[in-house]
Amino acid sequence: MDIACGCGARISLPRIRSCHAQAASAVRWAMARWLGGLLALGFISAMTAGIPGTSSWAGGGKQYYVAPNGSDANDGSESHPFATIDRGAEVVNPGDTVIVRDGIYTDLDEEGTMVRVRRSGTPEAPITFRAEHKWRAVLDGQNNKGEYAWSLWHEKELCHVNIEGFEIRSFASHGFSLQSNTHHILIKGNHVHHIGNIETTTHYGLDGSYDSESCSYITYDGNVIHDIGRIGPPTVNFNLDHGIYTCGDHNVIANNVFYDNKAGWGVQVAGYDTVDDLVISNNTFAGGESRGHIVLWQPCHNLVIQNNIFYRPAVPNAINFYEADLQNVIIRHNLVFGGGLKDNDDNGACLVSDTIEGRDPLFVDPAQSDFRLQAGSPAIDAGVAVKAPDHDCAGKRRPYGAGVDLGAFEWHPAKR
């Protein structure tokens, strides 16, 4: 099974422009159905409630603004915003924030990349790109005309950058691509969907986010990632496209929701140069069309997979292994429903404990992609506090009750 491409080849992905009209129509229908369901349920309001305005963002640096009616000839001030996020990325310095106003952004350079981040922050003064209102600043690849939404790399080093609160959709290749010596990056609260939904026979992966083996300290926190991967032709390379494809060290994947990914896993861990010290905690994985929810490939050492909910994987087990060299993999306090927890070919390297199997997690409405917990869910208070985040996907505090809840959402009683 050809599970992934070689590491060197991923640095420069081929340009993929074609998408049959029938496939494009199917993608548009799926997006409309998905959005309509969430609007009807009020799920979008729940996920975006309480997002602070720009007045709360003071961090000592300069604030630049981007707006659909702006101009890159402007100075980026509140009254004279830039037109493109890329222009903000060209001028930021440590401690600065680029605030992106509501609207749809379709600006692409000649190589199909929307935002190129090449400037670094510092530990005390990171550079931040933030939607003014969560999920209302939309990076739109225009039905796969664009290949990359965000590209983060520098030939020497890129570090201490935060990207928060965007909707990213309809790119042919990647939502995020992190390469070279890139470290201490926070990707938080973004909605990444319908990436790589093209007909292709390429052996290159099409991912929600990819971080290479030279990356480290990448944190994915509170993102919603779904409908990732190629849509045809049938049976060709339906194991290469993932929600998050992580290869670096000291990374954290927490509070994310992965569902309905088409041609791969929610998370692939690829040890091209030995993945070391990875935490996958408090995520919700649901459904899919061809694979499980997490796959470990090649050397993977010192991993913690905990407090997750695995809901109806497309294969018998949620966690899979392929040619994996495993050492000290802790799998604890997870709930799996509609399948088994893991494959058996781990050579005894996985220490498994406190699994809840076969019990429905009682999501609010999984058919409409609302994966919040209902009262009485077996996931409530069932987690472990060590290495767990202190907040959930919607920004609510953890724990609320006697213990940490499993999955991306901490149960809180409804306000009356």
Residue range(s) defining the domain that contains residue 72: 16-373
Mean pLDDT of the chain: 88
State the pairing for strand pair 267-270/363-365: unpaired
Domain total in the chain: 1
pLDDT(408) > 90? yes
CATH of the domain at 207: 2.160.20
Amino acid (one-letter) located at 347: N
Query: What is the 3-state secondary structure of the chain?
Result: CCCCCCCHHHHCCCCCCCCCHHHHHHHHHHHHHHHHHHHHHCHHHHHHCCCCCHHHHCCCCCEEEECCCCCCCCCCCCCCCECCHHHHHHHCCCCCEEEECCEEECCCCCCCEEEEECCCCCCCCCEEEEECCCCCEEEECCCCCCCEEEEECCCCCEEEEEEECCEEECCCCEEEEECCCEEEEEEECCEEEEECCCECCCCCCCEEEEECCCCEEEEEECCEEEEECCCECCCCCCCCCCCEEECCECCEEECCEEECCCCCCCEEEECCCCEEEEEEECCEEECCCCCCCEEEEEEEEEEEEECCEEECCCCCEEEEEEEEEEEEEEEECCEEECCEEECCCCCCCEEEECCEECCCCCEEEHHHCEEEECCCCCCCCCCCCCCCCCECCCCCECCCCCCCCCCCCCCCCCCC
pLDDT given for residue 236 in this prediction: 82
pLDDT of residue 289: 85
C-alpha–C-alpha distance, residues 221 and 211, integer Å: 15
3-state secondary structure 30-47: HHHHHHHHHHHHCHHHHH
The answer to the question of residue 403 being in a domain is no
> Is residue 390 assigned to a domain?
no
Written as six digits, the tokens of 81 are: 């915003």
Mean per-residue pLDDT for 175-193? 97
Which residues 6+ apart lie within 8 Å of 49 measured at CB? 394
pLDDT at 46: 57
pLDDT of residue 397: 97
- Per-residue confidence (pLDDT) for residue 26, from 0 to 100: 43
Name the pLDDT band for 60 (thresholds 50, 70, 90).
confident
* Structural domain includes residue 8: no
Ramachandran category for residue 293: left, alpha or beta (phi over 0 → left; psi -120 to 50 → alpha): alpha
User: Is it true that the peptide bond before 233 is cis, omega within 30 degrees of 0?
Assistant: yes
Question: CB of 83 within 8 A of CB of 114?
Answer: no
Asked whether residue 395 is assigned to any structural domain, the reply reads no
Rounded to an integer, the average pLDDT of 24-30 is 43
Residue 386 included in any domain = no
pLDDT digits (tens, 9 = 90+) for 193-227: 999 999 999 999 999 999 999 999 999 999 999 99
Contact 14, 204 (CB under 8 A): yes
Read off the pLDDT of residues 270-324 as tens digits, 9 standing for 90 and up.
999 999 999 999 999 999 888 999 999 999 999 999 999 999 999 999 999 999 9
**Cα 408 to Cα 237: distance, rounded to the nearest angstrom:** 29
User: What confidence tier does 107 reach under pLDDT thresholds 50, 70, 90?
Assistant: confident
pLDDT (mean) for 228-239: 89
Inter-residue contact 350 to 324 (CB < 8 Å)? no
Residue percentage of the chain with pLDDT more than 90: 81
Q: How far apart are CA 234 and CA 364, in angstroms?
A: 33
Q: Is 208 domain-assigned?
A: yes
Q: Which pLDDT does position 110 carry in this prediction?
A: 76
The whole-number pLDDT of residue 44 equals 53
Which pLDDT score is estimated for 40?
40
In the chain, % of residues over pLDDT 70: 85
In a domain, 404, yes or no: no
Instruction: Say whether pTM exceeds 0.75.
Output: yes
pLDDT of amino acid 25: 42
Contacts of 8 (CB under 8 A, 6+ apart): none
Query: Span 11-36, mean pLDDT?
Result: 39
- pLDDT band at residue 2 under the 50/70/90 scheme: very low
Q: pLDDT at residue 167 above 50?
A: yes
324 contacts: CB under 8 Å, gap ≥ 6: 271, 296, 297, 298, 299, 300, 345, 346
